[in-house]
Amino acid sequence: MLKVLFIPFSVLGGYAAAFLGKAVFAQIWGAIEEEEPPDAKHRDVTWAKLLVAAAIQGAIFSLCKSIFQRVTRIGFANLTGSWPGPEAPDPED
């Protein structure tokens, strides 16, 4: 039952992470380049610029997502007394 109660926390955390990640990436890319970030849809973009932008964007999004997942799980655990998910990684065989 608690897993179902955690879903809204998870969804809101995901939206917040995406919003923050987009804003942080825009700030960082603006410091690197005056043009808007390259997109695979753009014809006149070099592979190098496209891949660098994608790597930076992916790292920022992953960082924001991890932060928000952790914060929402800690908040949920503080409210309910139950951790939503596994307590530790599965051991490798």
Whether pLDDT at 2 is above 90: no
HSE at residue 28, side-chain half, CA atoms within 13 A, is 16
Domain that holds residue 74: 2-80
Q: What letter would DSSP give residue 83? A: -
Residue 41 lies in a domain: yes
pLDDT computed for residue 92 by the predictor: 83
Please, what is the average pLDDT of the chain? 92
pLDDT computed for residue 11 by the predictor: 92
| Helical axes 47-80 vs 2-32, angle rounded to 10° | 150
Whether pLDDT at 85 is above 90: no
Contacts of 12 (CB under 8 A, 6+ apart): 72
pTM over 0.85: no
Residue 86 lies in a domain: no
Give dist(CA 1, CA 53) in Å, integer. 41
Q: How many domains does the chain have?
A: 1
Whether pLDDT at 27 is above 90: yes
